Amino acid sequence: MKHFIFILLFLQASVLLAQKEERKPVLIYTCGEAPFAPDSCYIKYAIQYSLVVKDLGCIVNNKIKRKFNNNNRRANRKLSKRYGKDWEKHFKEDIESCRNNL
């Protein structure tokens, strides 16, 4: 019985650690053009960085623009915390390196 309880606790701890390590995707909005062409390299590193970029189109009102700018600031803080202040530079370099090796 003691072994059974130990195994249950071990499994529960493993599940909790796995859930903690999973990173929720960070959503960034753009207006007009997306900053990167959605090719296989972009997709690979967007998944690695847990990043989702949504293009809202070029016509948005000021209220929506203000909301997505606030969201993007929060997203940038999260990504800076995860990957460092120059995360965007590294992200772009990773994509370019991948594209050059194709």
Q: What is the pLDDT of residues 2-57, one digit of tens each?
A: 443 434 333 344 444 444 446 788 888 887 766 666 778 888 888 888 888 887 77
Beta strands (DSSP E) in 1-102 are 26-30, 51-55
Backbone dihedral region of 94: left (phi > 0), alpha (psi from -120 to 50 degrees) or beta?
alpha
Among 73, 69, 63, which residue's Cα sits nearest to residue 31?
69
Record the pTM.
0.68
Q: What is the pLDDT of residues 83-102, one digit of tens each?
A: 999 999 999 999 999 989 87
